[in-house]
A and B are shown apart, each in its own frame.
Chain A
């Protein structure tokens, strides 16, 4: 264990920091900058930022040089996320493509698929989404009913995907579909790359509790895809999905811990701002709770670092990573609820006529989503109990 940076790591950090200082826009640092914007505007701004980052060579730093990356280590990825947070940079538009799809293709895709799709993911010209969940298949993904049937030169896919984040802006979806007997569950699932401009694709955003919608319904009606749209082998799609879900527990989490840190900074700003709350200094119980939230957040950051250490040792996120999602989701909820508690009647004001929530209420709603997306809290706990603690549940 060594928390001192190597000269190479320190150089990387310095180079990045200098670059970010020159490129991050000051208005992004304003509290609430993103939440003022519609989902479309938010996406457009994030996409521009994605392209700028790509021009600087800061997207896909861990990808192999062969595919346009810099072949760097998970610790470089960690430094990248720390510096992006420090500079208060915006998230990128195609987080799904960069953090999930590209690394999945690097592990499960063909050389041709990597050559074809990775450049577009890197430079932000093509955006991706993941169509796994369905109305009747959420926690139980092996119950997927979307069907892919073979045709003369490929597959025909029909089904209904739900909660597909950012689909309305995406160019491609990684789709999980049935290619055999449903009774065989995860043994007859396959993964496909579906261009969303194809005939038969309809996308409808789903208005959400927080007012606007990143999540979508994705309808696939007899959508034709070529044979080389299949990722990995037929009926081995479960492995691809599990790879993507495992990667979602790897470097991909760093950015959301950084975002949570930013949210917490907003909370301390609110608590210690002069005149808030009106009566003067917060009372002891408030301060105790705040100190504890800070402690949990610090510890979570260190847990993520330990996870990165494990990944350097073993290539994939291990035991520590399995606890991280649950800890993060709960902490994000607790921080947001604490933020709500600092407000009185102001907390029920909903200024936007379209119902777009702002401030702590939005944070709370988003945090509730954190406890569902990527596997609910209950599913996370079962996974830990079964696969880490080897309990017979």
Chain B
């Protein structure tokens, strides 16, 4: 057992940070595409590498939620049959908004499936005409289905979100036909959501680290009353509390990502715990940072509000807070029952 990152992983995080800062799309692609190139094996660090890339995205003010792309690549790696479908059109993942809740209804026709129901999904502006991968159910069987976001039987209402490059689409499908090869029997919904939870948490960790660094710089350089504001104890203590939040969060994220189920997905309870922790620890760091920056923290032109927005969005993804809490409470209840049985 060893609980700190090895030099290769530190180098990976640095490389990802630089790639995101340089904003070179082709280099970004190679970061995600290589991740699951070899099938994960138990005890490898594939999930940790994915988490470090997600962290770097948050820490560099870089692309929003690479975790979704990493999760799509993970699906494609598990189901090579779905790869041509995913490559034929840009896809967004409904699980990002739905978690494991709200499966659509799917029925089999002659050579096709028909899909009904409503779901929500986050989509970049340009991809509104793309496809979504949604979870659908027929009796007890679950399917992962690629559905179009435009066309016959598809109704979409679109709202702006606080994340400038993402819209929240509410999509209603009414008997939308889907060819059979676009629907796959799927039993890994929980693993997918756990993966998404840990990757979103890792990105939040990056956002928190970025914010702490910005605050420490500001506390050293901004002067009032003839001194750097970091000389005032309340400012210094605020930064100390931020470091505590960052290190606590980092410990949880790395622990959750250090072990996977053999497919690359984290253990479900640990992922739920990670999500709860990051949801709680992240936002106060951002709001305190605005106070520390004074009115400059409220400027539209600054990066701080972009990170604040990113934080708000990431906190809300991969299942409702209530369902995540339920998972953890179920676990605790089980522990009490097990101890009583002993």
Contact = CB atoms under 8 A, between A and B. Distances in A.
Contact of B329 (A287, A313, A326): A287
Interface residues of B, number: 54
A369 to B, nearest CB: 20
Contacts of B101: none
Contacts of B5: 1
Contacts of B243: 323, 384, 388-389
A116 interface: no
A291 B328 contact: yes
B259 A306 contact: no
B258 A3 contact: yes
B3 A326 contact: no
B251 interface: yes
B247 A303 contact: yes
Contact of A302 (B227, B236, B251): B251
Nearest to B48: A1
A331 B240 CA distance: 16
B220 A392 contact: yes
A381 B237 contact: yes
Nearest to A78: B1
Given A294-B273, A382-B233, A389 B247 contact: no
Interface string B319-341: 00110110011001101100100
B321 to A, nearest CB: 8
A287 B325 contact: yes
Interface residues of A, number: 53
B231 A291 contact: no
B249 A299 contact: yes
Given A2-B2, A3-B3, A389-B216, A382 B236 contact: yes
A384 B335 CA distance: 36
Nearest to A6: B1
Contacts of A389: 216, 236, 239-240, 243
B298 interface: no
Interface in A94-115: none
Interface string A271-291: 011000000000010011011
A287 B333 CA distance: 11
A77 B339 CA distance: 26
B129 to A, nearest CB: 39
A23 to B, nearest CB: 18
A269 B236 contact: no
A9 B1 CA distance: 8
B250 to A, nearest CB: 8
Contacts of B321: 288
Given A323-B244, A381-B241, A268 B332 contact: yes
B26 to A, nearest CB: 29
Interface in A294-326: 294-296, 298-300, 302-303, 305-306, 308-310, 312-313, 319-320, 323, 326
A306 B332 contact: no
B328 to A, nearest CB: 4
Interface in B182-221: 216, 219-220
B4 interface: yes
Max chain A Cβ within 10 angstroms of own Cβ: one of B235, B258, B259, B322: B258
Contacts of A382: 233, 236-237, 240
B276 interface: yes
A252 interface: no
Contacts of B39: none
B248 interface: yes
A9 B227 CA distance: 52
Contacts of A3: 1, 3, 255, 258-259
A327 interface: yes
Interface in A1-18: 1-6, 9
Contact of A391 (B230, B258, B274, B329): B230
A110 B325 CA distance: 54
A186 to B, nearest CB: 21
Contact of A284 (B241, B276, B322): B322
Contacts of B4: 1, 306, 309-310, 312-313
A292 B280 contact: yes
Contacts of B277: 292, 295-296, 298-299
A48 interface: no
A136 interface: no
Nearest to B327: A291
Counting chain A CB atoms within 10 Å of each CB, the highest count among B240, B258, B321, B328 belongs to B240
A309 B248 contact: no
B249 A326 contact: no
A393 B3 contact: no
Interface string B276-307: 11001000000000000000000000000000
A386 interface: yes
B43 interface: yes
A299 B251 CA distance: 6
A302 B255 contact: yes
B255 A305 contact: yes
B45 interface: yes
B319 to A, nearest CB: 13
Contacts of A388: 240, 243
Contact of B247 (A272, A296, A298, A320): A320
11 contacts: A4-B43, A265-B335, A296-B277, A302-B3, A302-B255, A305-B255, A320-B247, A382-B236, A384-B243, A390-B220, A392-B227
**For the complex of A and B, 5 pairs with smallest distance between CB atoms:** A309-B3, A385-B236, A309-B4, A393-B236, A303-B251
